[in-house]
Structure 1
Amino acid sequence: MNTQMVIREMTPKDVDQVFEIERRSFSSPWKKESFHHELDHNMYAHYLVLEIEEQVIGYCGIWIVMDDAQITNIAVSPEHRGRRFAEALLKAAMKLCRMKKAEQLSLEVRVSNHIAQSLYQKLGFQPGGIRKNYYTDNGEDALIMWVRLNES
């Protein structure tokens, strides 16, 4: 199967598909309005989508403030997981952060999400602390992970 993968900036037309991935991926999903607000009103927000055959199957949100960047959310539709799409998205996000002169990138991940943690470590992220009771759905802690972008 030789399908063409495209990673590009998210537009308001993508919000419905992104919201559907969000809803299917997280127990406390963002609201559709939150994505519209990010695109229309947050000057620090940058969103990428990953498309296959013109269908959005993944997305990644980043906030870049000065030289500091943070992944706000990243997800791939459940039926497309395990095929390195999240890795491609994260690499594109890291490249975007470097282009925007960010020096470090951080994210939070559930302490129980070992699959995501393995991906982040593969791309150079290191554990940097714990946010206690971070997730509102069940009070689970978040592991903070970060990477220096000029060293990876």
Structure 2
Amino acid sequence: MPQENEIIIRPMEEKDIPQVESIERASFPSPWTSRLFYLEIKKKNFAYYHILEFKGKVVGYIGYWKVHDEAHIVTFAVHPLYRRKGFGKALLNYVLEEAKKRGIKRATLEVRETNYAAQKLYEKVGFKKVAIRPGYYHDTGENAVIYWKNF
């Protein structure tokens, strides 16, 4: 488990995108491109992206869209070498607290049905499984599990 003084969580900047894209490619079968991340971080009025640095290296990131009083988590990943060490939980909790400060009342996300580690993390921080979206992931046809968390 990382010590609080060893990690920095801050808004994603353009300079972070190469490291974020590297984590993205290591994490997802159909990764976002650097251009997509660049466009997303420019949407200041409703899109919020953060990175987690550990010892000066970007090891995780998360992004959500504010839609009315909801935070829709659109992307979230931790570098494979840093998973199951508390980094994802720290980043997720930080962003959920930040969302609450923005007046957000609930959070939602979709996760691959076979991503059991992520589902365990979401449930650990209070998300509830509410539905299945059949065939949601176009690359594999896999179902998505929809999670919600009320604040």
Query: If the TM-score is normalised by the length of the shorter chain, which range does it land in?
Result: over 0.9
Q: Which residue of 2 aligns with 1:110?
A: 112
Q: How does 1:3-152 map to 2 (within 5 A)?
A: 4-41=6-43, 43-149=45-151
Length-normalised TM-score, structure 2: 0.94
Unpaired segments ≥5 residues, structure 1: none
Distance 1:127 1:52 in 2: 30
| Alignment deviations for residues 48-96 of structure 1 (CA, whole Å, 9 cap, x no partner) | 1000121100000011122011111110001111101010011011011
Distance 2:35 2:87 in 1: 25
Length-normalised TM-score, structure 1: 0.93
Count of aligned pairs:
149
2:42 is paired with a residue whose SS is helix
Distance 1:100 1:118 in 2: 26
Please provide the CA RMSD for this pair: 1.4
Distance 1:74 1:115 in 2: 13
AA matched with 1:115: A
Distance 1:107 1:65 in 2: 13
Distance 2:97 2:127 in 1: 14
Distance 1:52 1:111 in 2: 29
Q: Deviating runs (4+, > 4 A) in structure 1?
A: none
- 1:28 touches 1:136 (CA, 8 Å); kept in 2? no
1:49 is paired with a residue whose SS is strand
1:129 is paired with a residue whose SS is strand
- Kindly state the Cα deviation for residue 42 of structure 1 after the two structures are TM-superposed: 5.6
Query: Structure 1 pair 42/139, CA: closer, same or farther in 2 (3 Å)?
Result: farther
Distance 1:106 1:44 in 2: 15
